[in-house]
């Protein structure tokens, strides 16, 4: 039955790929959009049920083999993430979402299965009831989703407000405890933005965030009103004030922290056009990279230049062998610059661990070829029951890893391409 359903799904997907537009019939087009939206919701519901079944089956198998209880759930979220072509972090969310729907929120699952609720709105309901007991969560589920008419026309904010109100009514103490936990998880993160910019995100209590923004706005208005804005817009002044107060340095004085910029010799010295790589950010246009270097040299910022050698044939970063079990500092740095982020497919989390692809206990060398950068979660998942990993010979191309999961599925991970020396591009 399962194999037959899989073939039917693949055949239907192939047919859907050939679907054409409504040929100018707007009414039919709207109906198609509505039907496809319902199809997406049904698919999400089926994914949730299958996800829970996969997790249950894997745990039951490990329990039957009398593995330690700490091993029963290891790596399951990572397998789900790989199957859905997403990061392990998202895989964990999908797993938690599925278990909540299947075991604690049957009415929400039913609305998803009938296409009356999309995955995002179902996720909001799961999220806003996460602090409640299973019994209280079932009450919210019943009151909001047992009658499909209850949420008709209700927007996302309205849905969140209703779920929060019910949660506070049922268990105010849990809601307060959840808030305290959220406050303890305050953090600052960055992510790339278009045009060689970046988003700096601060997760903090709402009263602090509002106060910070109001203070920056007030001071920006004051500078502009007194003619000290230097022709900058209000938003530009606010950003510059935030940088100055956060670093203790003026915007023009350079960034007082270590920033690794990988740039080819031709781009740096001969006006080449190949993009550079800013470690922790991504590609940077050649002109901007040269300007960054020039600004750093002209300022009081300490600047150092380190050559990274490449293989003459493939352009891969040269391996640095070591007999030590631990990766030495220089080799860790080389792996960081080569891999840039976690090497698990679809995971772009920062590198936290430097891992032997073929384990040291199985005579795996401490080398660049047998080393990979992984986030903490992916490294622990890889050490779980029946996972495999091996470096793959890839002449003339970037570093390649084959990752095998306990279900027998295999995924390839290629290191990102870095700026190449001039003589390699000329050949």
What's the CA gap between 137 and 171, in Å, rounded?
A: 10
Spatial contact of 253 and 299, defined as CB atoms under 8 Å apart: yes
Interval 20-33: pLDDT, tens? 776 778 888 889 89
Interval 30-56: pLDDT, tens? 898 999 999 999 999 999 999 999 999
Compute CA distances 150 → 164, 295, 371, whole Å. 16, 59, 54
Interval 296-306: pLDDT, tens? 666 655 556 66
Spatial contact of 272 and 286, defined as CB atoms under 8 Å apart: yes
The answer to whether the pTM exceeds 0.75 is no
Q: Which residues have a Cβ under 8 Å from the Cβ of 287 and sit 6 or more positions away? A: none
Spatial contact of 343 and 373, defined as CB atoms under 8 Å apart: yes
At residue 333, the pLDDT reads: 85
What's the CA gap between 412 and 85, in Å, rounded?
A: 12
What's the CA gap between 417 and 399, in Å, rounded?
A: 9
Q: How would you class 172 by CB atoms within 10 Å of its CB: exposed for 0-12, middle for 13-18, buried for 19 or more?
A: exposed
Candidates 151, 407, 424, 174; CA nearest to 309 is: 424
List 374's β-bridge partners, or say none.
Answer: 353
Q: What Rg, from alpha-carbon coordinates, does the chain have?
A: 26
Q: What is the CA 277 to chain-centroid distance, rounded? A: 19
For the chain, how far is it from start to end, CA to CA, in angstroms?
55
Candidates 361, 307, 359; CA nearest to 334 is: 307
Encoded tokens for 99: 């278990």
Q: Which residues have a Cβ under 8 Å from the Cβ of 27 and sit 6 or more positions away? A: none
Encoded tokens for 259: 């920033």
Spatial contact of 373 and 328, defined as CB atoms under 8 Å apart: no
Residue 273 half-sphere exposure toward CB, CA atoms < 13 A: 0
- Residue 200, H or E segment: strand 197-203
Sequential pLDDT tens for the chain (427 residues): 678 888 999 998 898 888 777 677 888 888 989 999 999 999 999 999 999 999 999 999 999 999 999 999 999 999 999 999 999 999 999 999 999 999 999 999 999 999 999 999 999 999 999 999 999 999 999 999 999 999 999 999 999 999 999 998 999 888 888 888 888 999 998 888 888 788 999 999 887 888 899 899 999 999 999 998 999 999 999 999 998 888 877 655 554 455 677 777 777 766 777 887 776 667 778 777 777 776 666 665 555 666 555 555 555 554 444 444 567 777 888 888 889 899 999 998 889 999 999 887 787 888 888 999 999 999 989 888 889 999 998 877 889 999 999 999 999 999 988 776 665 555 5
Q: How would you class 117 by CB atoms within 10 Å of its CB: exposed for 0-12, middle for 13-18, buried for 19 or more?
A: buried
Count of Cβ atoms closer than 10 Å to residue 75 Cβ: 23
Q: Which residues of 95-113 are buried (b: 16+ CB within 10 A; e: fewer)?
A: bebbbbbbebbebbbbbbb
At residue 205, the pLDDT reads: 86
What's the CA gap between 381 and 383, in Å, rounded?
A: 5
Encoded tokens for 82: 């790989």
At residue 424, the pLDDT reads: 56
At residue 180, the pLDDT reads: 85
**Given CA atoms 326, 309, 342, 391 in this order, what sign does their dihedral have?**
negative
């Amino acid at each position: 039955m399962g194999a037959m359903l899989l073939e039917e799904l693949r055949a239907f997907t192939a047919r859907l790929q050939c679907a054409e537009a409504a040929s100018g019939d707007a009414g039919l087009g709207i109906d198609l959009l509505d039907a496809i939206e319902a199809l997406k919701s049904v698919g999400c519901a089926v994914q949730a049920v299958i996800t829970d079944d996969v997790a249950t089956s894997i745990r039951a198998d490990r329990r039957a083999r009398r593995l330690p209880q700490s091993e029963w759930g290891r790596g399951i979220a990572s397998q789900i993430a790989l199957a859905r072509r997403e990061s392990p972090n998202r895989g964990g969310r999908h797993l938690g979402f599925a278990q909540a729907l299947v075991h604690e929120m049957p009415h929400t699952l039913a609305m998803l299965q009938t296409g009356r609720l999309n995955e995002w709105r179902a996720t909001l309901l799961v999220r806003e009831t996460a602090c409640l007991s299973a019994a209280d969560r079932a009450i919210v589920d019943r009151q909001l989703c047992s009658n499909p008419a209850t949420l008709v026309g209700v927007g996302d904010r309205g849905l969140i407000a209703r779920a929060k109100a019910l949660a506070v009514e049922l268990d105010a103490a849990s809601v307060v405890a959840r808030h305290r936990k959220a406050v303890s998880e305050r953090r600052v993160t960055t992510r790339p933005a278009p045009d060689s910019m970046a988003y700096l995100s601060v997760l903090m209590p709402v009263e602090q965030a509002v106060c910070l923004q109001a203070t920056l706005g007030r001071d920006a208005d004051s500078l502009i009103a007194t003619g000290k804005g230097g022709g900058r817009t209000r938003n530009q002044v606010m950003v510059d004030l935030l940088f100055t107060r956060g670093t203790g340095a003026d915007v023009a004085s350079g960034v007082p922290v270590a920033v690794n910029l990988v740039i080819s010799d031709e781009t740096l010295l001969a006006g080449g056009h190949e993009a550079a790589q800013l470690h922790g950010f991504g590609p940077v246009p050649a002109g901007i990279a040269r300007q960054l270097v020039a600004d750093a040299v002209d300022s009081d910022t300490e600047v150092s230049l380190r050559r990274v050698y490449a293989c003459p044939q493939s352009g891969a970063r040269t391996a640095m062998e070591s007999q030590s079990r631990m990766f030495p500092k220089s080799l860790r740095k080389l792996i960081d610059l080569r891999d840039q982020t976690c090497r698990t497919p679809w995971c772009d989390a920062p590198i936290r661990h430097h891992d032997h692809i073929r384990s040291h206990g199985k005579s795996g060398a401490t080398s660049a070829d047998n080393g990979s950068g992984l986030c903490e979660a992916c490294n622990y998942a890889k050490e779980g029951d029946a996972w495999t990993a091996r470096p793959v010979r890839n002449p003339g191309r970037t570093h390649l890893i084959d990752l095998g999961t306990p279900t027998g599925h295999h995924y390839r991970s290629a290191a990102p391409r870095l700026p190449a020396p001039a003589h390699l591009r000329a050949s």
